[in-house]
Amino acid sequence: MSLQSLSKAGATLTGRLVAVQGATLTFDDSTAANIAYGDRFAANTRSLIDAHIQASGLDAPPAEPDPAEQPFEIDPPRLLRLSSAGIASVIWCTGYKGAFRWLGEDMTDSEGAPLRHGPASPAPGIWFIGLRWLIHRTSGNFIGFPRDAEVIANDVRSFLAAKVS
């Protein structure tokens, strides 16, 4: 999945968050550089795969160009007011290694990982996504988290419905 395909699917790409004042977020101008980095990483991965195919003498067709990596125009926001943008929730993603100190010692194990049953925290109303082996083998990557998100969304709906009843 490329940043271009996420943008075309409706995601708003931004640069790195550099300031928060109330409900207003300010971002730097790194969006284009991040897209370029992702494209270089994908190209490098394809070349490693091609080199392995060649070194192993495998009969495989060459990689086809990925239409998701075609250049496109982007005008990322540098300032975002959450309420006027219709944003009521923020999902904070920190990369592949989580820092869960904010949960407190009673909510984390001896390694600092969140205590959980599947995606759910022991504390009502808190779920996790993107953790390794959360629900599926692929939970910790772009391939698996959409399936996990569907499960979690259903759990949240049930949780909210029970609170309303």
Give CA–CA dist 120/152, Å, rounded. Answer: 8
121's enclosing H/E stretch is none
* Cβ within 8 Å of residue 47, ≥6 positions away: none
Q: What is the pTM of this model?
A: 0.54
User: In a structure prediction context, what are the per-residue pLDDT tens digits for the chain, which is 165 residues long?
Assistant: 678 888 888 888 899 889 989 889 999 999 999 888 888 888 888 888 888 899 999 998 877 777 777 777 888 999 999 889 888 776 666 555 677 888 888 899 998 889 999 899 888 888 888 888 888 888 877 777 888 888 899 999 999 888 887
Residue ranges covered by each domain of the chain: 1-85, 91-165
Q: What pLDDT does residue 1 have?
A: 64
